[in-house]
Amino acid sequence: MFDTLQDRFDGIFRRLRSRGRLSEADVDEVAREIRLALLEADANVRVVKPFITRLKARATGAEVAQSLGPAQQVIKIVHEELTTTLGGDVAKLTTPSRPPAVILLVGLQGAGKTTAAAKLARYLEGQGRTALLVAADLQRPAAVEQLRVLGDQAHVPVSSDGTDPVAVAEAGIREAERLGRTVVIVDTAGRLHVDGALMDELTRVAVAVSPTDTLLTLDAMTGQEAVAVASEFAAHVPLSGVVLTKLDGDARGGAALSVKEVTGLPIVFASVGEKLDDFEPFYPDRMASRILGMGDVLTLIEKAEAVFDADQAKAAEAKLRSGQFTLDDFLDQMRQMRKMGPLQSIVGMMPGVPKELRDAELDERELARVEAIICSMTPAERRDPSIINGSRRARIAKGSGTSSAAVNAMLKQFKMVQQMMRTMTGGGSKHRRRAARLGR
């Protein structure tokens, strides 16, 4: 996600930090580099030009000249401008005066509508809503079945009653009212390209169900093409926002950077993987932080809060404080952490993680190996790893099917995690304070 920009900004800011005061020529050079970085990330020219104009105006102004840390100031300005470009404030779904809320999902074939429908249902259920999914894509033979399978996984009922998309959608709303569900999510058919028949069908469905929100699903991996598609859809169907999918496979970020500025539509949700839980509200400021390598501590904390068992976390914290955090606890924590999602995405959200580590292949098999090593230790060794000498190490290596070097590496890693856990469990409020200081 945004790897191209992250790399560029990393270099630009590193050079910038080595400077004292910034001359106008320095600012020009930084602006030029950032312009290239944005273009390379496939941002629309309509985004890049005003971005650079604003950046230059602010960076040559008193705001920076009078500050003691010009580099920090420039980074702060870039962060704010990036946040604005990505949409500024967090976009929220509309709350209807009377439930159920009706969310219509539209988009091209393969953009990720059906997947997003189930993910959104699951997300909203997590927010205390009760969802009903409606399969109104009657074009693709297997589309209804696909939504049924996903609905099952998300534990959300699926309705598909009728032979015409309008009838199915209407029946879905009635079903939701009957069941007392508070939100209806309608999945619709797509085409490979925007065409008249599709727009006609979507318009008829929209008129029939008067959606509280119509979200356009866009594939981030298609970059500027996604932005063009958004403009075409917007010309035919009233849209309220965008669900940006496959951000996990998009290294450049052109669609994310351009959609709001070009179409005026806010990105409401981001889909960041194939699993049902890989779905999150789109926070422009957090995304900007991620791009600038400041980490995304808030999302990380939220994910941790959603996954970690609160009592268990408290117990672990208490153990940490008293210096009793053992390898057994490590094993527990690690198993919980795995539930947060792919390691790579977790590491990407941590602030101050060196680029080398961010890029390192973090193998899930590595976790399995760590587990095997810990399981091959005696209780005494798990309580106090310092007793592990050469012969114990060899025994553990043999028992776990690894090597002495691997056992050593794991123990080193354990020490690192001990430190990390200390900041994470003890530092929730501290992180929030720091985030607030960063202007978020």
Ligand X SMILES: Nc1nc2c(ncn2[C@@H]2O[C@H](COP(=O)(O)OP(=O)(O)O)[C@@H](O)[C@H]2O)c(=O)[nH]1
Residues that bind ligand X (CB under 6 A): 107, 109-115, 190, 217, 245-246, 248-249, 271-274, 278
Which C-beta is closer to ligand X: that of 216 or that of 316? 216
When CB distances are held under 5 to 8 angstroms depending on the partner's kind, the choice from ligand X, Mg ion, none that residue 274 binds is ligand X
Which C-beta is closer to ligand X: that of 13 or that of 279? 279
- Tell me whether the omega of the peptide bond preceding residue 165 falls within 30 degrees of 0, making it cis: no
Considering only CA atoms, which of 212, 230, 213 is closest in space to residue 222? Answer: 230
When CB distances are held under 5 to 8 angstroms depending on the partner's kind, the choice from ligand X, Mg ion, none that residue 73 binds is none
Which C-beta is closer to Mg ion: that of 42 or that of 137? 137
Asked if 87 and 267 touch (Cβ cutoff 8 Å), the reply is: yes
Considering only CA atoms, which of 160, 154, 159 is closest in space to residue 129? Answer: 154
Could you give phi then psi for residue 242, rounded to 5 degrees?
A: -125, 140
Q: How far is the CB of 217 from ligand X (least distance, A)?
A: 6
Neighbours of 348 (CB within 10 A): 21
Which C-beta is closer to ligand X: that of 78 or that of 257? 257
Which range of residues in 37-45, 142-150, 249-257, 403-411 is near Mg ion by CB under 5 A?
142-150
Neighbours of 355 (CB within 10 A): 13
Burial group, residue 340, by CB count within 10 angstroms (0-12, 13-18, 19+): middle
Which C-beta is closer to ligand X: that of 138 or that of 320? 138
Q: How far is the CB of 183 from ligand X (least distance, A)?
A: 19
Considering only CA atoms, which of 269, 226, 271, 281 is closest in space to residue 247? Answer: 271
Q: How far is the CB of 97 from Mg ion (least distance, A)?
A: 30
Position 114 contacts Mg ion (CB under 5 A): yes
Which C-beta is closer to Mg ion: that of 150 or that of 183? 150
Asked if 331 and 371 touch (Cβ cutoff 8 Å), the reply is: yes
Which C-beta is closer to Mg ion: that of 48 or that of 150? 150
**What is the CB-side half-sphere exposure of residue 124 using CA atoms within 13 A?**
26
Mask of contacts with Mg ion, 47-86, x by CB under 5 A?
Answer: ----------------------------------------
Q: How far is the CB of 139 from ligand X (least distance, A)?
A: 10
Tokens of 177: 């009212």
Q: How far is the CB of 149 from ligand X (least distance, A)?
A: 11
Residues 6+ apart with CB under 8 A from 50: 261
| Structure-token match 């194939």, residue found | 274
Which range of residues in 114-122, 201-209, 214-222, 404-412 is near Mg ion by CB under 5 A?
114-122
Tokens of 55: 């950046």
For residues 401 and 384, give the distance between their C-alpha atoms in angstroms, rounded to a whole number: 22
Asked if 404 and 397 touch (Cβ cutoff 8 Å), the reply is: yes
Q: How far is the CB of 151 from ligand X (least distance, A)?
A: 13
Which C-beta is closer to Mg ion: that of 114 or that of 258? 114
Q: How far is the CB of 249 from ligand X (least distance, A)?
A: 5
Q: How far is the CB of 117 from ligand X (least distance, A)?
A: 8
When CB distances are held under 5 to 8 angstroms depending on the partner's kind, the choice from ligand X, Mg ion, none that residue 273 binds is ligand X
Give the residue closest to Mg ion by C-beta: 114
* Integer angstrom CA distances of residue 152 from 149, 158, 159: 5, 8, 12
User: What is the binding site for Mg ion (CB under 5 A)?
Assistant: 113-114, 143
